[in-house]
Amino acid sequence: MSTQHISRVGIIGLGAMGKRVLTALQNDHLPQASFAAIDHAVHSDEFIQAHRLEVFTDVQGLIDWRPDIVVECAGHSAVTGPVLEILRAGIDVVIASIGALADKQINAALDQAAHDGESRLILVSGAIGGLDALRSARSAGLEAVVYVGRKPPRAWAGSPAEEEFDLSKITEPTTIFRGTAAEASIRFPKNANVTAAVALSGVGFENTQVELVADPGVDRNVHEVQASGAFGELSIRLANNPLPDNPRTSWLAALSIEEAVAKQLHCLVF
């Protein structure tokens, strides 16, 4: 019985979240490990040298580098592309963009790739928390799970809400969407990861109810989950600060990735 050894870490995507995760892993969790990334953006020599980083522009280059684990921070397109190939190559992958799993075909393809490669797909909770309690309650039977997402009106710019509402004139909490987690993941992809995390932990995409609210009374992204079942009732509420480097991304989402990798370090292998 021993702890899992991770000495080579790959990262897909070096945007604000990818850079934050890279820095945290190097400074706090895996200071002696080697790091490589897939990214098409141009990075300075200073950045690459400071992070002792190899950068590849294609997935095969990263696979040939043979990482012990890969972390996806690049969005849904990475899940349907590089992640599938890496799983088939027998390499475990931590994915941040779990909203992609709302698509049943993608979900099945990931399961098959992990099976073929004898690898693991590791999901993170992202910007939501407390889902261990929801998963525990599921074993006794859940009757209802409702997720409510609240953001300031301006934060819904660029979403379908902008086509139906004058966001600049909203002066009280206004529901901009009500439906299933499956529908919300498709129509509001920027909220897909949170709704997916709740759906996967509870009653699934079709049975999880979602309400999205433009609320001028909040200045952060607020996530609320209510569930009921044989266990009783559960209520979770988080108000998340954004990443300092990217106001569109929750800081907690990046922290959840760091925690997922750190957990693998202390996972007992028999």
Residue whose token pair is 């599921």: 138
Q: Specify whether domain 131-241 bears CATH 1.50.10.20.
A: no
Sequence spans of domains, the chain: 2-123, 131-241
Report the 10 Å Cβ neighbour count for 33.
Answer: 18
Confidence at 130, pLDDT banded by 50, 70, 90: confident
> If you average pLDDT over residues 57-74, what whole number do you get?
94
CA atoms 87, 5, 9, 25: torsion sign: positive
- Helix (H) / strand (E) element for 79: namely helix 76-79
What per-residue confidence (pLDDT) applies to 268?
A: 35
Convert 162-188 to b/e letters by CB count within 10 Å (16 or more is b): eeebebeebeeebebbeebbbbbbebb
- Residue 270 carries which DSSP code? -
**Active-site hit among 5, 51, 223, 266:** 223
Q: Which CATH number fits domain 2-123: 3.90.330.10, 3.30.360.10, 3.40.50.1100, 3.40.50.720?
A: 3.40.50.720
Residue whose token pair is 């604000």: 16
Question: How do beta strands 8-12 and 69-72 pair?
Answer: parallel
Tens of pLDDT, residue by residue over 170-222, are 999 999 999 999 999 888 887 778 898 899 999 999 999 999 999 999 988 89
Read off φ and ψ for residue 150, nearest 5 degrees: -115, 135
Q: Is the pLDDT of residue 2 over 90?
A: no
What per-residue confidence (pLDDT) applies to 43?
A: 86
| Whole-model pTM over 0.75 | yes
Report the 10 Å Cβ neighbour count for 14.
Answer: 22
What per-residue confidence (pLDDT) applies to 266?
A: 56
- Residue 57 carries which DSSP code? S
Sequence-distant (6+) residues with CB within 8 A of 236 are 128, 129, 130, 133, 134, 223, 224, 225, 226
Catalytic annotation on 223?
Answer: yes
Q: Is the pLDDT of residue 270 over 80?
A: no
Q: Which of 150, 262, 256, 135 is nearest to 198 (CA)?
A: 135
